[in-house]
Structure 1
Amino acid sequence: MSLKRIYSLIGILVGVIVLAIVLFSSWYTVDESDQAVILTFGKAEDAIQEPGLHFKMPWPIQSVEKLSKETYSLQFGYEEKDGKVKEHPNDTKMITGDENIVLADLVVQWKITNPKKYLFNSDNPKELLYDTTSASLRSIIGSSKIDDALTSGKGEIEAKVRDLLASLIKKYDLGISILAVKLQDVELPNKDVRSAFTNVTDARETMNTKINEAKKYRNKTLNESQGEKDAIISKAEGDKAARIQTARGDVALFNKLFEQYKTNPEITKQRLVLETLEQVLPNAEIYIMKDEGNTLKYFPIKPIDQESAKPSQEGSDNQ
């Protein structure tokens, strides 16, 4: 075989290889769960997030870096792998605002929102995220009381850590977003301290229970007293109205008697005297008496009234 023919075969082989490289490196696919960044001579272009088949310049002119759209979880203070949990106590030990030591670990959920920045704005964005999480958690725990960190203040601490961490990540421009922060465990460093704190917590809960019971009793007593007060006021207002009506009736009666008195003063005077005697001495017998000389004569009123009342009563019975 001649040398010329050998060169020709080598040229054809090289051409086939180059053509194969061009063909296989000029297109790529992006899955629905991925996003891609095109690098042109090492310079990053805008990210491509639409799934499907895409074309580019062949290698080595352009290359593709693919990143996932999934939500990642950063485990701070511990590491869970193959069902086993490995703790990192040196990372989780921190001081609270009232100078107590606690162990706190958490989970940060995050995702890549700008692949270009994620790839090129930091050498190791995951490590920077871990350090930023540590700084944010220590800052918030350091300004919180131990009671809040161990009991009812966890939700507020989580929110503050999330806000601080998100602001730092935005400042560092890492191309990621913080979705959620969840405290896993916040506990005291040893058994004796935990036991003492538990006793304090139990005492505080007992105190709150007693306070709530006292408030309940106070409210009940106040309601009962209010009811009694309202009843007394209502009765007093009723008595007031009744007395006013009685007074008005007495005034009306007095006015009628006064009219009669002006017409027949003597008769009205005698009538009032008799009616008063009947009220004061209901069982007494009434006589009309007149003195003439030495002989005392009287005229019995009550027996006559009784005799006059009998015929009328008998007549009503016969009917």
Structure 2
Amino acid sequence: MAWNEPGGNSNNQDPWGGRRNNGGDRKGPPDLDEAFRKLQESLNGLFGGGKKRGSGDGDSGGSKGGYGMLLVGFLVIVAFWLYSAIYVVDEQEQAVVLRFGKYYETVGPGLNIYFPPIDRKFQENVTRERAYSKQGQMLTEDENIIEVPLTVQYKISNLQDFVLNVDSPETSLQQATDSAIRHVVGSTEMDQVLTEGRELLASEVKERLQRFMDNYKTGIVVTQVNLQSAAAPREVQEAFDDVIRAREDEQREKNKAETYANGVVPEARGQAQRLVEDAMGYRDEVVSRAQGEADRFTALVAEYRKAPEITRERLYLDTMQELMSNTSKVLVTGDKGQNNLLYLPLDKMIDGRKGNGSSAISGAASASDPDAGSLRTPQPVDLRSRESR
């Protein structure tokens, strides 16, 4: 028989088939209304109590409905808290957890949970390379105003420092970049910034900027600084272009001069080397000839000591032979007691000089000896007839 059929004993049966004993106790699943009532009483005790339950059925039904709504609201709050407390960290990310405002831990990739509101979470991508561009007018070392655009690439190297040490690390990076680029450009001349010095400038800016970030402990590492083509402001662009053209002309003339120097200098060095070698050869020749003359004189002295008269006569004959072979005059001697005759071979002198000064020579010969023109062949020179000393 069902528990609610007429004639049935409703006091001893319930919907779940349990039976109540005379003392009111029940065996089987608990009553939901009674469970809600106990939960409500517990919550009322926690929050300062509530209204007392009346004896009417209407008050009992309203209390039960209020308890159910309160439990549903509590469950919704718990579910929302769990939804916000559980988070996932990707492979490229890290998360820093603060507990009561103090650093607690750094969390790696995976499923994690934290406990708000006592915990705070900061989650960032630590492998993605970030970049920003900057452009501004600045003064060079030679007092020229130029406009320098650049791009800075960076990423997070230490998330704890990035979150805790600086309020806005990326803003600090931009301000430090402005300081670094102005310092480097201000100590460099304009032509270096515009031409081949850009790579060196970018390297110096990167080094100085990274030093700033390390001193500030921002947890940022600068990976690359790209210094783009610098230009003059629009107001002075025309004059600036004229200066650039003048510098290009100067460089072109320098290249021409270097090309000419590369052709002339080696030739001059070769000539100088040749003159040095000729001088050294002449020196060796003179020294050798002098050494030979000295050796010859030493040998001659030895021979003179052996036979003075013969050696003296031989020296005299050799000397006169050398002198007469190099002169255009011929001395013809006669017999003893007769005058000597000086003969000038005019035909050979004229052939040797090819007509230059022939009239002057002829006049000189006629004045000195009128009969010289009638002479054609000189007599042999008799040097042996000279009296011995």
Percent identical: 28
Closer, same or farther: CA 138–263 of 1 in aligned 2, 3 Å: closer
Alignment equivalent of 1:162, drawn from 206, 214, 219? 206
Cα displacement (A) at 1:30: 4.8
Higher-Rg structure is: 2
Note if 1:262 corresponds to 2:319.
no
Residue 3 of structure 1 aligns with which residue?
33
Closer, same or farther: CA 217–123 of 1 in aligned 2, 3 Å: same
Note if 1:178 corresponds to 2:222.
yes
Q: State the distance in 2 between where 1:223 and 1:128 align.
A: 59
Q: Indicate conservation of the 8 Å contact 1:125/1:174, yes or no.
A: yes
Note if 1:72 corresponds to 2:126.
no
**Amino acid of the structure 1 residue aligned with 2:156:** I
Residue 93 of structure 2 aligns with which residue?
34
Q: Indicate conservation of the 8 Å contact 2:176/2:212, yes or no.
A: yes
Alignment equivalent of 1:232, drawn from 270, 275, 281? 275
Alignment equivalent of 1:203, drawn from 232, 246, 250? 246
- Relative to total residues, which structure has the larger strand share, 1 or 2? 1
Note if 1:134 corresponds to 2:169.
no
Aligned residues: 274
Q: State the distance in 2 between where 1:206 and 1:3 align.
A: 101
Q: State the distance in 2 between where 1:290 and 1:162 align.
A: 105
Could you state the TM-score of these two structures normalised by the residue count of structure 1?
Answer: 0.65
Cα displacement (A) at 1:139: 4.6
Closer, same or farther: CA 157–262 of 1 in aligned 2, 3 Å: closer
Q: Indicate conservation of the 8 Å contact 1:118/1:175, yes or no.
A: yes
Note if 1:187 corresponds to 2:244.
no
Q: Indicate conservation of the 8 Å contact 2:131/2:152, yes or no.
A: yes
Q: Indicate conservation of the 8 Å contact 1:150/1:186, yes or no.
A: yes
Q: Indicate conservation of the 8 Å contact 2:142/2:190, yes or no.
A: yes
Note if 1:45 corresponds to 2:75.
no
Q: State the distance in 2 between where 1:185 and 1:290 align.
A: 102
Residue 315 of structure 2 aligns with which residue?
272
1:223-271 superposed Cα distances (whole Å, 9 cap, x missing partner): 4333323322221221221222222222222333332322222222333
**SS at the partner of 1:186?**
coil
Structure with the larger RCO, 1 or 2 (CA within 8 Å, 6+ apart)? 1
Residue 146 of structure 2 aligns with which residue?
102
Q: State the distance in 1 between where 2:268 and 2:74 align.
A: 105
**Amino acid of the structure 1 residue aligned with 2:270:** G
**Amino acid of the structure 1 residue aligned with 2:276:** I
Give the CA RMSD over aligned residues.
4.2
Q: Which runs of no fewer than 5 residues in structure 2 stay unpaired?
A: 1-30, 41-69, 326-377
Q: State the distance in 2 between where 1:175 and 1:286 align.
A: 119
239-248 or 117-126, which moves further after superposition? 117-126
